[in-house]
Structure 1
Amino acid sequence: MFKSIAAATFLSAALSVGLSGAALAQDNQTLRVGMSGGYFPFTFVKQDVLQGFEVDVMNAVGEETGFDIAFETMSFSGLVGALDAGRIDTIANQITITPEREAKFTFTQPYVYDGAQVVVRDGNDEIAGVEDLRGRTVAVNLGSNFEQLLREQPFAEEIEIKTYEANIAQDTALGRVDAFVMDRVSSAQLIQESPLPLALAGKPFSEIRNALPFRNDEAGIALRDKIDAALTTLRENGTLAEISQKWFGTDITSPE
């Protein structure tokens, strides 16, 4: 999402057509996991290697369940459609649980707890939080839940929201938009790692719970249950916390 990533290296070989995606995952012991490969530090490419928090979590799930994990990268805005069409079995890309998504998919337990964060160009003292977005142009990633979170604000009609598949951080740093909104963890990591002049504006304004979605059919629910049981084990034995500490220096996998 911060830059365009060539996905060909990480696309797994196509599986035979005609069976449901969830059934394929169970019959072949392969779990096809969709992600963008462009959302640092959750899923990104460095030196031609797909890596990040989400990659480590899913590999740990694979070790716990015995599934082979096949990562398939594509644009973030196409992930939900790919899941719905059965081209992948789940999405590991900071997918927020929302009522709209729960009506369509079945989710595992949350494995990330975060908050929506406003980010501005460093030195912009006029925006100190979400309340100051009135009359401003604000960027969000296309297909993310942050547009909806902004539209739920009581002053939403006063915000001009732009949906992006381009580099929202760069456009904010260059002054093409006044701010962007994404999750606080990614925002803080981006500011730390990027040379762009950016700063957090105030505190998170909405709690976010991220989980793994599956198709809401018999096979999808059965697959969800297996992955959910693995997440429970990884939480109890400290693996989730360990992976979080590796990437963030703190535990974002617990609500505490």
Structure 2
Amino acid sequence: MKKTLVSVLFVMLFSVLGASAEAFAAGNGAEERVIRVATPGNYAPFTMYEELTQEWSGFEIELWRTIGEKTGYRIQFVHIDTPAAFAEVDLGRADTVAKQISITPARRQKYEFTQPFFFSPYCLTVREDNNEITSWKDMEGKTLALREGSAMKEFVAALDPDNKVKKAIYESGNSALHETAMGRVDAYPFAYLILPYRLKKNPELKLKSVDVDNPIYTEVNAYPFPRTERGQALLKLTDGVLTEMIADGSYSELCKKWFGLDVMETKPAKEYRQKRAQ
């Protein structure tokens, strides 16, 4: 009887340990088998939220849903502006941030990043009838729109160390684009791969990209995770799915659906991979 009781206890103990291991991989228990993705939902076509229907759509939304399907995790989108989204990650109330998030030196100091999932060259976007600005060298004394909480502020600071370009800060990229189209600012750094999509959806915006062969900077986009046990476990899971999707062609299909091309086959992506391989 004692031997039977001891055996039962051992079985129970190992069952608990096994469950604990599973829980650790998922977070802290079955209720934590969720990845909380903070995103504003106002950056087409990457992450979009419809207030009336409370529905999410976009390239990154579909990407995260695929990550959820392949890992068995529920993806919970946390509707919040970008600066506050990073604060939610810091407080442990969100796991990562989605909005074409760039790897920057400042962010690397706080977060670990997945492998890049997008490479986005940024060019100056100006009014369609603006022929004065043809490249960055024409920006001295002009006014450049910047988006609050965006990595573009870091990139532009490096381009303009002597502060010869005036800056106007806007809460959203939509506002910056409209102000540029209205002529209230001279230019706005914008992803030229995305501009055709934006102009198709908003034909009233008479804008163009300039000097597209020489982007003022190229964003390398990846997902940031905190340096916690949970954060590193979720990063590993996410990275594994990204590797699988790139290898099996499903990532290419998703890219072509939203952008008409496979971003991993673009010049910036190839140059990045080549540099990393050296």
Q: Shorter-normalised TM-score: what interval?
A: 0.7 to 0.9
Q: Who is 1:158 aligned against?
A: 164
**Equivalents in 2 of 1:202, 1:194: separation in Å?**
22
2:199 to 174, 191, 196: 191
Distance 1:127 1:24, change over 3 A: farther
| Structure 1 residue 24: Cα displacement | 5.0
Instruction: Give matches, 1:136-175, under 5 Å.
Output: 136-154=142-160, 156-166=162-172, 167-175=175-183
SS class of match (1:221): helix
**Equivalents in 2 of 1:222, 1:183: separation in Å?**
31
Q: Who is 1:42 aligned against?
A: 46
**Equivalents in 2 of 1:26, 1:146: separation in Å?**
39
SS class of match (1:157): coil
Residue 217 of structure 1 aligns to which amino acid in structure 2? T
Distance 1:108 1:239, change over 3 A: same
Structure 1 segments, 4+ long, off by >6 Å, are none
Distance 1:241 1:90, change over 3 A: same
Q: Who is 1:236 aligned against?
A: 247
Distance 1:90 1:155, change over 3 A: closer
Distance 1:26 1:213, change over 3 A: farther
TM-score (norm 1): 0.86
Residue 175 of structure 1 aligns to which amino acid in structure 2? G
Q: Who is 1:180 aligned against?
A: 188
Which segments of 5 or more consecutive residues in structure 1 lack a partner in the other structure? Answer: 1-19
Residue 131 of structure 1 aligns to which amino acid in structure 2? K
1:206 to 217, 221, 225: 217
**Equivalents in 2 of 1:140, 1:81: separation in Å?**
21
TM-score (norm 2): 0.79
2:27–2:33 CA contact under 8 A, matched in 1: no
**Equivalents in 2 of 1:143, 1:95: separation in Å?**
11
**What is the percent sequence identity of the aligned residues?**
32
Larger radius of gyration: 2
Q: Who is 1:220 aligned against?
A: 231
